[in-house]
Copies of this chain bind each other. A is one copy, B any other.
Amino acid sequence: MDAGWDYERFKAFTCADDDDIDTFRRLAGPTIGLKRGEILRMQGAPDPQVYILLSGWVACSIIVGESARQIVKVHLPGDLVGMPSLAAPTACDTIEAVSAAKLGVIETAAIGQVFSSNPRLAALLFLVSQQERVVLMERLASIGRTSAASRIAALILELRTRLRRNDPTIENVVPVPLTQEDIGDMTGLTPVYVNRTLRQLRTSGIATWRRGVITIDDRDALAVLAALPQSPERDTSWIPSRRG
């Protein structure tokens, strides 16, 4: 744990080993602290940077029209934040702290260095991006083609799965610092309707989401409701080995 960065989390996320971690750690620059609700950078800001989330949660969102907001990703500790804007002159999304958070800045040039000097780590970064694409694709399918209850069920299961990578002891009680408005912005619903849908999940004995804590009462029913495949593990055999 250097400057609070949860390396174990990052290792699990990328299948990186200790040497990879060492290499990567050297990339992280100064640390930034954010209070809940604080904005790290706005969509459209010039010269976007890449960050690594050390602690807390941040949300990346896109503003549509005058006021509508769509959260495209909530990041948990260990996540790389801001990669999609890597090659853009201006940021394509807004990064905002959902809870108090700390981030390390990663110079864009350092990413290029990884590709030159550490092909294995570069491939791991590439792989992480593919996984992020899959998550986005599944969220797209969820929002485009399912009911409010299904979208929220899928969200609950996604958060549970991701949090379990950090903390394998998590089972049916999942701490989540999102407001109902945040949930709406993630699922494409209004806060009012999120509230009604949560009540429906609660009264039907499937899940209870209250005061920042989800309690899953019937995981099978939740999975059926979500209607999305639970992705299995990854195959990393194609990644270059360290010596070769």
Contact = CB atoms under 8 A, between A and B. Distances in A.
B130 A62 contact: no
Of the candidates A44, A65, A120, the one having the most CB atoms from chain B within 10 angstroms of its own CB is A65
A85 to B, nearest CB: 7
Contacts of A234: 87-89
Contacts of A108: 238
A30 interface: no
B141 A140 contact: no
Interface stretch (A1-9, A67-75, A204-212): A67-75
A146 B130 CA distance: 27
B87 A131 contact: yes
Contacts of A129: 126, 129-130, 133
Interface string A119-132: 11011011101111
Interface stretch (A32-40, A51-59, A173-181, A224-232): A224-232
A188 B137 CA distance: 13
A83 interface: yes
A83 B134 CA distance: 10
A228 B62 CA distance: 9
Nearest to A87: B234
B64 A146 contact: yes
Q: How many copies does the complex hold?
A: 2
Contact of A92 (B62, B122, B134): B134
Contacts of A85: 130, 134
A160 interface: no
A81 to B, nearest CB: 12
A90 B134 CA distance: 12
A145 interface: yes
A33 to B, nearest CB: 26
The 4 tightest CB contacts between A and B, nearest first, are: A144-B188, A70-B141, A62-B141, A68-B145
Given A92-B137, A112-B240, 10 more contacts: A62-B138, A64-B142, A83-B133, A84-B133, A87-B234, A88-B232, A111-B238, A116-B240, A116-B244, A140-B143
